[in-house]
Structures are given as structure tokens and as C-alpha cells.
Amino acid sequence: MPKVLIADDLSQAAVDIFTNRGIDTDIKVGLSKDELIKIIPDYDGLAVRSACKPDADVIAAATRLKVIGRAGIGVDNIDIKAATAKGVVVMNTPFGNAVTTAEHAIAMMFAAARQIPAADQGTQAGKWPKKNFVGVELSYKTLGLIGCGNIGARVAERAKGLTMKVVAYDPFLTEDRAIELGVEKVDLDTLLTRADVITLHTPLTDQTRNILSKEALEKTKKGLILVNCARGGLVDEDAVRELLDNGHLGAAAFDVFVEEPAKENVLFGAPNFIATPHLGAATNEAQENVALQVAEQMSDYLLSGAVTNALNMPSVTADEAPRLKPFIELAEKLGQFAGQISDHGFDDVEIEYEGEVCELNRKPITAAALAGLLRASRGDVNMVSAPAILAESGIHHSESTTEDSPVYDSLIRIRVKVPRTANSEETGWRSIAGTVSAGRPRVVEVKEMPLEGAFSPITLYVNNLDKPGFIGALGEMLGSAGVNIATFHLGRQESGGEAIALIGIDSEPPQEMTEKLDALPHVRYAKVLHF
């Protein structure tokens, strides 16, 4: 039974999702780092909000951990790189708090436009400061969205309801989606010069860090209202303070800061500045939604392998998982085969898909193939860590699709380019292909020679010249070593030419037998493979 540690507050309804689906749960909130490191080896899943911080040390200690689920969108508290290297899926819940965050951005925009917090403070102090607060209308003004994804789109919808003109800068926003939302897609400089209000809705990355620099802010209209309910670090806080002080910015409203908790900040006390303590997702509805969502996602992954909203692995829906499972298993075994016969490593990988498999979600299939391929040389590698490990090694990989498969409904072929050695073949490539038959993976081609056989747990692979008496001699050699043959599959190019044999055996052959086999004059290559 999978076991999950809930390390931040989740609702009872979220806990019930785990338990009702047969997952054992422990609730331990407020653990120190040392306490978390001590107990994390006992768990398959870790559910957090923002207080618990699974860093590299915690993840290194997590020997069983398969998934970290973040109830919310931000994952700054999770070391995703360490999790990926360890093969741990990291999920978030980007949709559960989208409405709440969008509403907070709109509320901050109104508060800044009408200087509501300062007016409230003066009124409650008995000053009745009516003449000090002359605001601006938002209707018919231009709203500039930096980021028009899930949350930004909801802000756009609400701004359109206020009869605002909306322009958006987002490299991933398509023209069709912009038309659907009723926004105008523009470049960043155009947005800066046209917007009366700018609100940010983009993650903090190397590309977006300080996207509103001093130089960028100085391009904006005098009197601009600036709202940031996304991430601290997107805006140069020192520049905002300077532009508020000199009157270039009409107002600014921030829910997020470079350093949080923000007990001190250069912006505090600036004229027409509004601050809230990272409340974007802080509604009862949002907190409940993300808690329920993360419980469902983690349960799906631990029980069925379905992957939703993962940040370091291709998504696989619950509906896709059953159909993908045999192809994922096939791809992993083909990768294991190719990896085990590439004794000197490889520097290029090609994955070819033929037939009906081309219509499936191939990303997890490719990830499984790469995991199998790397496992022979790198040990504990899985679908999560394999693509990152391959990328770090500088090994190129590609994939191609062919809608028609000449023989099989679906076929997957893996080709690896091995370094040239004194005994290497002229082409420098190894090629393995397989299919799924009756729901089980089958190997159907090795080195472009057709054959059909199962992936036996222990398989003796022999590449030899097709000469009379070889099969008999091989059988006698195995018999003399006390090794029973379970299956025997043969393939060849032509009579007397190159041939292959895949022999499923019931036990590991002694090393002296394989060395003797490899030394035979007709044998080009022999190796025991494990699946």
C-alpha cells in the first residue's frame, strides 16, 4: 500500500481522498528539516503547500519517494532539479486557485485606482480626507497583461467586463487564443507604451526575472498603475520606489516580493503603494480546491501511473494510462536491450514510431525508452530522471513517426549510435524493434533481422554467422553448464550470413561458459541480458 506524508495543512476532505482510495496517510505539520529527513524514507508521496521545503537534502534521504504534490501553483519551496535527478515527479495545481488570484489582481487594480487603503486609513483616523483622494476610472482604459495563461486569461475576461481594452504580451499566446479571449497580442515594448494599467501573470524564470526593469518602466505612460500578484523578482522594486516618488507611476499594488515574508521592503511607505501578504490564493474556495486537486493527482499517480500537472514529466491522463501502459513497458524493454548491447556507450539515439502508436501520447513512451537505455550504464534511472540525465550528458536524441506500419499495427524501433572501436561494425549503429501483441511486449527485429520473441527475464543474446551445427553446439554448451532453455528465437539475414539468437534461459549461466561461447570462431558477440 502506498504511503503519503501530509506535511502542510490540508482539509479533511483531501485526506479522505487518499484514505478512500486505499492510500495510507500520516499528517505531520510543522516538521523541522532534520525531522523531515529522518522520516521521509518511509513515504512514497509528500503533500505540501508552501511552508514545508523539500530541498536537495530532504530528497536525497527519500529512498522510496515517487511524487511530491504542491497544493498550489508556486513551487519555489521544492528543489525540482534534485527531485528530477532522483526520479521523483513534482506536481502542482495550477487551476485550483486561478479564479481567486485573478480576482485579487482585479481588486488590487481597483484599490490602486481609487487609493482605497489610504482613504480608509484617513477616514478611520477621523480626518475625512475627501479632497486628498481623486482617483481614476478603469473603464475604457488599456490593461496590459504580461502573461496570458490560465490566470492572465481570467483577468482578461474580467477586464473586458469592465469595458477595458486588453493588450497582452506572452510568447506562448497564439493568435487564435488571443482572438478567442478578445485581447490584442503585442510585443513587450508596445505594451509598455500603450498600457494605462499593467498586471503580471507569469512564472519567475531566467527569461522573466526583472522583466520590468528600470529601463522598461521608464518607457511606460506617466500615471501608470502597476499590479503584481504573480511572483517577486519580476519587477525591479528599487525602480518602482523611485518612480512612485517622482510621480511617474501613479500607483503600485504588490501581493508578492523578492524576499518573503516581507518584514521590510524598499516599497513600504511609498506614495500610492498598496501591499498585501501574498494573498493571491488565500480564499476558502481556492485552498480547498487545490487541496482536493493535489490529493486526486497524487493518488492517480501512485495507483495507476496517471500524471497530471507534473513539472518534470510528461502528463498521462487516467484514461490514457491503460492504453499507454503496454507501450511504455515495450519501450523500456527495447531501451534496456539497446543499452545492454552498447558496451562502449552511445552518442546518438533515434526512436522511430510506426502505425497506431503514432496517435498516442508518445512523450511518456519516449521517456520510458530513454530510462531503459540509460539504466544499463547509470543504474537507478526512471522516466522522470532519464530525459534530464540524457540532456546533461550532451547525447542527442530524436524521434520520428510513420503512420503506416508494413507488418504490425504498431512498432517501436530504437537505434543507438555507438562509438567506433577496433571490433565495431562499419555502420556504428545498433537497432532493436518491438511491438505489443495480446497486451504484452514482443521483440520483432534485432539489427534489422526479423524474429519474434518474448523478453525473457534472463536472455542469452548471440550474434553469429549462420553455419551448420552452431545451434546444436550452443544447446550442448548450455546443457553441460546446467542451464535450462525456456525459449529459443532465431533470425538471420540470409543463408550463411549474419544471424542472431535470443535464448530465454531459467538461470544465470556461469561466466566461463559465456566466455567460451564468445570465443567460438562463428560468434561475433554474445551477452547475457536482463529484463
Say if CB 188 and CB 216 are below 8 A apart: yes
Among this protein's residues, is 35 annotated catalytic? no
User: Of these residues, 49, 201, 278, 362, which one is catalytic?
Assistant: 278
Strand partners, 70: 48
Residue with cell 534496456: 336
Compute the CA torsion angle 329, 335, 341, 342 (nearest 10 deg). Answer: -170
Q: How far apart are the first and last CA of the chain?
A: 25
Which residue pairs from 103-107 have beta carbons closer than 8 angstroms and sit at least 24 positions apart in sequence? 103/158, 103/283, 104/229, 104/255, 104/276, 104/279, 104/280, 105/151, 105/155, 105/199, 105/201, 105/227, 105/229, 105/280, 106/155, 106/158, 106/159
Strand partners, 488: 503
What's the full length of the chain, in residues? 531
Strand partners, 397: 349
User: Of these residues, 231, 241, 415, 489, which one is catalytic?
Assistant: 231
Rounded Cα gap, residues 325 and 6, in angstroms: 29
Among this protein's residues, is 278 annotated catalytic? yes
Residues 6 or more apart whose Cβ sits within 8 Å of residue 228:
199, 200, 234, 235, 252, 253, 254, 255, 256
User: Of these residues, 137, 215, 218, 260, which one is catalytic?
Assistant: 260
b/e map of 183-194 (b: 16 or more CB within 10 Å)?
bebbebeebbee
b/e map of 71-82 (b: 16 or more CB within 10 Å)?
bbbbbebbbbeb
Among this protein's residues, is 231 annotated catalytic? yes
Residues annotated catalytic, as ranges: 231, 260, 278
